[in-house]
Structure 1
Amino acid sequence: MPRTGERGGPRTRARILEVANRVFLERGYEAVTVAEIAREAGVSSVTVFNHFPRKEDLFLDRADDAVDLLRSAVRDRAPDVEALTALRDMSFRLFDTRHPLSGVNDSSVPFFRTIAGSPALIARARAIESELRRTLAEELDSDPAFEGDGTLLAAFFIAGYSDMMVETARHLVAGEPAETVVKDHRTRLERLFTALRDGVGRPSPPR
């Protein structure tokens, strides 16, 4: 017989995430085991790992969302919209809605603080960044409508976006006024796309 709550894939996943995020924020990532999360969520450890291959994925659970957003920005843009413009539009939608992937969500401070306190989460975040860079490069390089250097644009965009989030996290965790930090974040987002547009967003002119 399955343990209580083992059925209902999406509901089970959501319950596991709710428990994991709560106990990680309360006690710190390193102090909590997968077995403890499973027990509180009413499932087995095997069920937890069926939904989340790594313990780190219980906290950094939006990697798949980020992949989907990048792919959609490239694949679903209108024929007359450049890839870089689509990435800019996506980034500002995340910012304007205070999406968790924007770095300026209401839960960003405890989220960033928990990551900063865990070498395992820091390492996984860096691995995710590399995965996102490869994903975007593949999408751009396979898109016949894109004429720039996909690998270079992906590297600059992902690195720039990640560095911007780290900088915002540093200011928020330090207790600086959220309104000021968010305003500065938007300014830096504009600067990022200005740099990308001027540097790698367009193919080099013929010699």
Structure 2
Amino acid sequence: MSIEPMGLRESKKQETRQLISDQATRLFIENGFESTTIAEIAAAARVAKKTVTNYFARKEDLAFDHQDEFVAGLARTVEGRGEGQSALTALRREFLDGVARHDPVIGFCGEAFARMIADSPTLLARLRDMHDQREEALATLFAAETGAAPDDITPRAAAAQLGGAHRILFQHILALTLDGQSNARIAETVTVSAHRVFGLLEGSLADYAVK
């Protein structure tokens, strides 16, 4: 009996996962997140219900299939910043780069997807939770890098300000998307907004967590 190479098996798993996610998103957009069932998603993807739940533990995970990247993104950017660069500088630069490439992780998701989120209390709640998790991951990194004492509130305060800036800008992109604006127009508007929002943090965080 031949043994399937690990690379091929992993590739097939990723293909199956993507297929399920794509079919789920299509159904969520067409019928609404709350109304779509796991059974309907399984049927559309031509897999068993158990296969869907094996790949996605929660129904909302099917909609936010980039959630791991989203949650870890701010901390990863700060961790990878250049020598002499502050956390604020690194995060502002990465966000503006994301705007330029219309990155879906920062909110460029298209009007249909944005409407799907806006119309679902479950997805809105999950999105808030993801923002909170992202902020917590950033605070944990700040505490480790700065050697802060357990009772030092500074890492959490800094993460709250930087995470809050990203949260506001994400909501801004979502609102402009729901307004029917093109990605190019949204990028122009949000670039100006980002400079304003991050500029407000210069006084308190310009020299915080410099590598």
Report TM bin, short chain: 0.7 to 0.9
Percent identity of paired positions between Structure 1 and Structure 2: 29
Q: Residue in 1 aligned with 2:6?
A: none
Q: Once superposed, what is the RMSD of the aligned Cα atoms?
A: 2.2
TM-score normalised to the size of structure 1? 0.84
Which deviations, in whole Å up to 9, do the C-alpha atoms of 1:87-131 show, x marking residues without a partner? 11211121111110232x3x4211211111111111111111111
1:156 matched to 2:158? The reply is: no
Q: Residue in 2 aligned with 1:193?
A: 198
Q: Residue in 2 aligned with 1:72?
A: 76
In the superposition, relative to structure 1, how do residues 132 and 170 fare at CA in structure 2: closer, same or farther (>3 Å)?
same
Residues 30, 118 of structure 1: 8 Å contact kept: yes
Residues 165, 198 of structure 2: 8 Å contact kept: no
Which of 127, 132, 135 in structure 2 is aligned with 1:133? 135
Greater length-normalized contact order (CA 8 Å, ≥ 6 residues apart): 2
In the superposition, relative to structure 1, how do residues 151 and 201 fare at CA in structure 2: closer, same or farther (>3 Å)?
farther
TM-score normalised to the size of structure 2? 0.82
Following the alignment from structure 1 to structure 2, what is the Cα–Cα distance between the partners of residues 201 and 47? 48
Pairs within 5 Å for 1:12-27: 12-27=16-31
Q: Residue in 2 aligned with 1:84?
A: 88
Stretches of structure 2 that go unaligned for 5 or more consecutive residues are 1-10
Moved more, 86-95 or 170-179: 170-179
Secondary structure of residue in 2 paired with 1:53: coil
Q: Residue in 2 aligned with 1:121?
A: 123
Amino acid at match of 1:59: A
Following the alignment from structure 2 to structure 1, what is the Cα–Cα distance between the partners of residues 121 and 31? 15
Secondary structure of residue in 1 paired with 2:34: helix
